[in-house]
Amino acid sequence: MDGIVQLQRQLVDYTASLFHEGFLDDQFNQLQQLQDESNPDFVVEVVTLFFEDAERLLNELTKTLGQPSIDFKRLDAHVHQLKGSSSSIGAQRIHRVCISFRNSCEEQNVEGCLKNLQQVKQEYSLVKSKLETLFRMEQQILAAGG
């Protein structure tokens, strides 16, 4: 019993820290609310979907920026997609970076775009690892019977 309580407390603290550091925002709470008996793995499903989507988009972005003549419109479209996805799950920091990325695209600022891309990739990997840790902790609790 004690172990579960401890684990749960750890989970709560961890989640709180994620919010505190700005990785996640209220939208993530909304997602968690939507999870119920009819939809027990809703959050995991959505987040997994996000990971797949984000990785695809990041590859596209890298490819487009690697072209000699950069198609900014296409770049913008992708970033727009990524922005939408990240805001849907509440990945706040990625969302913010996407906004500045879009500005760079509008300005057709290659340097800026490259920098933004770097930032996005960084943020994405951070959030991915954090969320994976979160899910692992939940799994542990479930396994322990809590």
Q: CA dihedral in degrees (75, 81, 83, 89; nearest 10)?
A: -160
Alpha-carbon gap, residue 98 to 84, rounded angstroms:
9
**Terminal Cα-to-Cα distance of the chain (whole angstroms):** 8
- Hey, what are 110's tokens? 């290659």
Q: How far is the CB of 94 from other proteins (least distance, A)?
A: 11
* C-alpha gyration radius of the chain: 17
- CB closer to other proteins, 87 vs 140: 87
Q: How far is the CB of 23 from other proteins (least distance, A)?
A: 16
What residue ranges bind other proteins (CB under 8 A)?
A: 26-27, 30-31, 33-34, 36, 38-39, 42, 45-46, 49-50, 53, 80-81, 84-85, 87-89
Cβ atoms of 135 and 44 within 8 Å: the answer is: yes
- CB closer to other proteins, 89 vs 131: 89
Q: How far is the CB of 144 from other proteins (least distance, A)?
A: 27
Kind plus residue range of the DSSP H or E element containing 143:
helix 110-144
- CB closer to other proteins, 7 vs 95: 95
Cβ atoms of 24 and 17 within 8 Å: the answer is: no
Q: How far is the CB of 145 from other proteins (least distance, A)?
A: 26
Q: How far is the CB of 9 from other proteins (least distance, A)?
A: 26
- CB closer to other proteins, 46 vs 134: 46
- CB closer to other proteins, 38 vs 69: 38
